[in-house]
Amino acid sequence: MTAAPSDGTAGGAAGGAAGGPAGGAAGGAAADGAAASFGARLAAGMERHGPLCVGIDPHPGLLERWGLADDVAGLRRFSLTVVEALAGTVAALKPQSAFFERHGSAGVAVLEEVVAATRGTGTALVVDAKRGDIGSTMGGYADAYLRDGSPLAGDALTVSPYLGFGSLAPAVDAALASGRGLFVLALTSNPEGASVQHARAVHDGTPGESVAGAVAAQAARLNAAERARTGAALGSVGLVV
Amino acid sequence: MTAAPSDGTAGGAAGGAAGGPAGGAAGGAAADGAAASFGARLAAGMERHGPLCVGIDPHPGLLERWGLADDVAGLRRFSLTVVEALAGTVAALKPQSAFFERHGSAGVAVLEEVVAATRGTGTALVVDAKRGDIGSTMGGYADAYLRDGSPLAGDALTVSPYLGFGSLAPAVDAALASGRGLFVLALTSNPEGASVQHARAVHDGTPGESVAGAVAAQAARLNAAERARTGAALGSVGLVV
């Protein structure tokens, strides 16, 4: 179902592993425009560099181990050093938004620098922010992270489906329209996740599909429809597993 | 189970309604230190001003209706006008982070201004950001939104439990330690939410508690334990319903 790139996290920092796009890989020549889709670009990047996604997780302990202060200057030094060392040599970089937000708007400005420094290097930039909301609010997040010209828009965004997979539609639409991708939280490895992700739909008293299974199935459907159009090896909607 | 303040949203903008703390209200004199808890402060604010929480949802259409440009200056003008008009006269203000993030780090800096302008007015400031992650990453969000001295820390934060209610522990700890609160996504009104929130735990083939029910029960347990310590009328963990 998923092709999960191994998740190398700089300095051994914690962070959710972004699994690969759901729907499986398949051959076939790319149709017109397919090169612009996130799935096609990620497939090409993994072909070139191997399936490695490196997390950028500048939590306080990691900054300390690097001999850096836990402030905006330390955050910036760490993050841009990782980008300088690895952009263009790995398939993807994945900065964890929380560790930028904890320094306030000045930290978010550093995340913008990470996005800008990675752009055009051939390495995909996945903003790990696990955003999730409904309607115009989800549209606001799509504007921020999935729109050409936004300083926070990398190549893909992690999103959270607690409000229902369908609530992510504005992000799906924005991603596909701009050649960007999503990684949707599905079945995570932390033990607390089971209470939500293993819960099951019940019809007439009979347990059916799990929450995580339904998320994966809906991502796979989107990818199948997209790949029928583009012919790309991968769709643009991945899973966090 | 919940005492949901009516949710007045400035300009009729969309946005999730933040329900009141779970666990029900009860009488009893506040014990020492209870005045510092979010639940106690929110209860006092609702007593004084009535149970009104006003959303600050500066989406593009709303800025346009106000005759403002869809840029950082328009965002700032709208948001600070709402704070100036209402801080000190309503129980709570609830800015929607997505509509600040869509303007990049400069928009997040405006959210910091909203937080600062509301502080000390007697109106609770709920940052509606629906953050959710695990371990040190959840700790990063707690640092950003629930820590004294952080420019993004208001009085409470909305959080998302897709990774399990237990994954929110770093935020719960930070909130209770600093007199702040949380509103946890539980049972939302959007139709797509049922696919996750109505799913049920299954033991030996028998459907048990729903995801939303389990979230509410865990919030109620936290509030009962807190109120046993503080004697406050409300606990500090609310639900988004």
- For B132-148, what is each residue's pLDDT tens digit? 999 999 999 999 999 99
Q: Which residue of chain A is at minimal alpha-carbon distance from B207?
A: A207
pLDDT band at residue A7, thresholds of 50, 70 and 90? Answer: very low
pLDDT band at residue B151, thresholds of 50, 70 and 90? Answer: very high
* Residue A205 · residue A218 · CB < 8 Å: no
* Residue A236 · residue A223 · CB < 8 Å: yes
pLDDT of residue B8: 37
Q: Model confidence over A176-221: pLDDT tens digits? A: 999 999 999 999 999 999 999 999 999 999 999 999 999 999 999 9
Q: Report the C-alpha gap between A54 and A77 in whole angstroms.
A: 17
Q: Model confidence over B10-58: pLDDT tens digits? A: 433 333 334 444 443 333 333 344 348 999 999 999 999 999 999 999 9
Residue A32, classed as helix, strand or coil, is coil
Q: Which residue of chain A is at minimal alpha-carbon distance from B209?
A: A199
Instruction: Tell if the CB–CB gap between B167 and A192 is shorter than 8 Å.
Output: yes
Reported ipTM exceeds the 0.90 cut: no
Q: Model confidence over B54-96: pLDDT tens digits? A: 999 999 999 999 999 999 999 999 999 999 999 999 999 999 9
Question: Which residues are B6's β-sheet partners?
Answer: B52
Of residues B99, B188, B199, nearest to A211 (C-beta): B199
Mean pLDDT of A80-94: 98
Residues of A in contact with B135 (CB under 8 A): 14, 190
Q: What integer best gives the mean pLDDT of chain B?
A: 88
Instruction: Tell if the CB–CB gap between A163 and B188 is shorter than 8 Å.
Output: yes
Q: Which residue of chain A is at minimal alpha-carbon distance from B208?
A: A199
pLDDT band at residue B165, thresholds of 50, 70 and 90? Answer: very high
* Residue B162 · residue A132 · CB < 8 Å: yes
Buried b (16+ CB within 10 A) or exposed e, B78-102: bbbebbeebbeebbbbbbbbbbbbb
Q: Report the C-alpha gap between A47 and A77 in whole angstroms.
A: 30
Give, to the nearest 10 degrees, the angle between helix A104-118 and helix A72-86. 10
Handedness of CA A65, A67, A72, A76 (dihedral sign): negative
User: DSSP assignment, residue B8?
Assistant: E
Q: Report the C-alpha gap between B231 and B159 in whole angstroms.
A: 25
Q: Report the C-alpha gap between B182 and B168 in whole angstroms.
A: 10
Query: Any catalytic annotation for residue B94?
Result: no
Instruction: Tell if the CB–CB gap between B190 and A164 is shorter than 8 Å.
Output: yes
Residues of A in contact with B138 (CB under 8 A): 98
Residues of A in contact with B136 (CB under 8 A): 13-14, 57, 59, 61
- DSSP states of B125-138: EEEEEEE---HHHH
**Catalytic one of B130, B131, B180, B227:** B130
Instruction: Tell if the CB–CB gap between A137 and B96 is shorter than 8 Å.
Output: yes
Instruction: Tell me the catalytic residues of A.
Output: 130
Give which of A138, A134, A184 is closest to A157, Cα–Cα.
Answer: A184
Q: Which CATH class is domain B6-240?
A: alpha beta
pLDDT of residue B17: 39
Interface test with A, best of B70, B133, B145, B147 (most A CBs within 10 A): B133
pLDDT of residue B239: 97
pLDDT band at residue A166, thresholds of 50, 70 and 90? Answer: very high
Out of A6-15, B76-85, B92-101, B167-176, which region has the weakest mean confidence (pLDDT)?
A6-15
- Percent of chain A at pLDDT > 90 equals 83
Instruction: Please tell me the distance in Å from A193's CA to the nearest CA on chain B.
Output: 4
* Residue A174 · residue A180 · CB < 8 Å: yes
pLDDT of residue B181: 98
Instruction: Tell if the CB–CB gap between A161 and B13 is shorter than 8 Å.
Output: no
Interface test with B, best of A56, A100, A103, A108 (most B CBs within 10 A): A108
- The radius of gyration computed from the CA coordinates of chain B, to the nearest angstrom, equals 18
Kindly give the pairing relationship between strand A200-203 and strand A206-210: antiparallel
Q: Report the C-alpha gap between A29 and A26 in whole angstroms.
A: 10
- Percent of chain B at pLDDT > 90 equals 83
- Work out the widest C-alpha separation in chain A, in whole angstroms: 59
Q: On the CB side of A174, how many CA atoms lie within 13 Å of its CA?
A: 25
Residue B8 CA: distances (Å) to CA of A17, A36, B19, B32, B115: 39, 43, 12, 33, 19
DSSP H helices, chain B, are 38-49, 60-65, 72-86, 98-101, 104-118, 135-145, 169-178, 194-197, 211-230
pLDDT of residue B125: 98
Q: Report the C-alpha gap between A98 and B125 in whole angstroms.
A: 20
Q: Report the C-alpha gap between A144 and B103 in whole angstroms.
A: 7
